Homo-oligomer: A and B are copies of this chain.
Amino acid sequence: MSAKRGTDHTTPTAAPAPGRRERNKIEKLRRIKEAAMELFTRKGFDDTTTREIAAAADVGLGTVFIYAANKRDLLFLIANDGLEGVEERAHACLDPTAPLLENLLNIFRHHYEFFCRQPALSRLVLREMAFYEAGAQARPFQETREALIRLLGKAVQAAIDRNTVSPGDTPQFVGWTLFCIYQVELRRWISQDDLCLREGMDHLQRALKVVIRGLDPTAEALSVGRPPAAATDKTPPRKVPRAVRSTR
């Protein structure tokens, strides 16, 4: 590092000055994050070596593995910051007086917008996230996920309170169900070559509507003046999954 200590020579000023050691650590972490972010985005996850990251951050190779348990963890080190912000904003925009679908779409839009910002990086995160369990950054990641499920539950609860929906299960569990939809929809969308936020949100909305409306199992009782078979199609039956990008 060749530390040029341009500090004042006074005592470590009370509380807010955490000492040089702490400052160095913070600064190094920042450099490592920045370097990883830039390289992952530009060259992709697999084509970026940990040695490159270390060099770009101007630290030793070993140092990288002090701040991240492994290469994957580096990815989440970057993503977690952003995701927590998203979670907060999504939480803030919940409007107990708004229709459920609107609330859901607002929540999910924050997430989609976040992932849309850095598509390449997001694909990596979403690829690696599926079963991410080890590594220091796994915990905050899981917590953010659980917070999202709770938030969805809250949105459902709000709709119940307003008597606009009445699901056959707890709000929490309905939240989980909506989360399932979101997860797979998000993966489908993010895998596409040219991301269109609109397309993603439309597709998601379509799926959410299926859940909200249900499959209308009372139709049998009510099947009087209704076209019996493949009823009303809002949209043509688009092809659903798709061919995708190379891994390395």
Cα distance, A183 to B188, chains bound together (Å): 12
Contact partner, A170, options B176, B233, B245, Cβ 8 Å: B233
Chain A: residues with Cβ within 8 Å of the partner, total of 73
Of the candidates A100, A123, A232, the one having the most CB atoms from chain B within 10 angstroms of its own CB is A232
Contact partner, A166, options B142, B180, B185, B215, Cβ 8 Å: B215
Determine how close the nearest CB of chain B comes to the CB of A210; give it in whole angstroms.
Answer: 5
Verify B163–A223 contact, CB threshold 8 A.
yes
Instruction: Enumerate chain B residues within 8 angstroms of A169, measured Cβ to Cβ.
Output: 206, 209-210, 233-235
Instruction: Enumerate chain B residues within 8 angstroms of A240, measured Cβ to Cβ.
Output: 146, 149, 172-173, 176
Cα distance, A33 to B216, chains bound together (Å): 46
Contact partner, A212, options B170, B217, B223, B234, Cβ 8 Å: B217
Cα distance, A233 to B164, chains bound together (Å): 18
Task: Indicate if A248 sits at the interface (CB-CB under 8 A).
Answer: yes
Cα distance, A69 to B100, chains bound together (Å): 46
Cα distance, A27 to B180, chains bound together (Å): 42
Task: Indicate if A20 sits at the interface (CB-CB under 8 A).
Answer: no
Determine how close the nearest CB of chain B comes to the CB of A107; give it in whole angstroms.
Answer: 16
Q: Mark A177-205, 1 if CB is under 8 A from B, else 0.
A: 10111011101000100000000000000
Contact partner, A230, options B100, B157, B212, Cβ 8 Å: B157
Interface residues of A (CB under 8 A from B): 100, 123, 126-127, 130-135, 142, 145-146, 149, 156-157, 159-161, 163-174, 176-177, 179-181, 183-185, 187, 191, 206-207, 209-217, 219-220, 223, 226, 228-235, 237, 240-241, 243-248
20 A-B residue pairings within 8 Å (CB atoms): A100-B215, A130-B187, A133-B191, A133-B244, A133-B247, A160-B229, A163-B223, A166-B216, A166-B219, A167-B210, A168-B216, A170-B237, A173-B235, A173-B240, A177-B181, A180-B183, A180-B184, A211-B214, A213-B215, A214-B214
